[in-house]
Amino acid sequence: MKTSARNQLQGTVKALTPGAVNTEVVIELPGGIEIVSIITKSSAESLGLAVGKTVYAVVKASNVMVGVDE
């Protein structure tokens, strides 16, 4: 897979929660960290997503905010 996005995180689908329109996808990254994405139900189906499948979380954002505790 080749994209212009700089942040491509490979992981494994840990859980899928389909709704009427969207599906919540929980991806487990190496080290046990989880990232959650909401995608359309049709996208989840066309990608053939299933628990245990290897996937990539691709993050493309023009802004990333950083915060600290005071």
Record the pTM. 0.84
- CB 27 within 8 Å of CB 5: no
H helices present in 1-70, as ranges? 41-46
Q: What is the pLDDT of residue 63?
A: 79
- CB 33 within 8 Å of CB 45: no
Q: What is the pLDDT of residue 35?
A: 93
pLDDT digits (tens, 9 = 90+) for 11-66: 999 999 999 999 999 999 999 999 999 999 999 999 999 999 999 999 887 777 88
Q: What is the pLDDT of residue 61?
A: 77
Residue ranges per structural domain of the chain: 7-59
Asked if pLDDT for residue 1 goes beyond 80, the answer is no
Q: What is the pLDDT of residue 43?
A: 97
CA–CA separation, 66 and 55 (whole Å): 26
Task: Assign domain 7-59 one CATH number from 2.40.160.20, 3.20.20.70, 2.40.50.100, 3.40.50.300.
Answer: 2.40.50.100
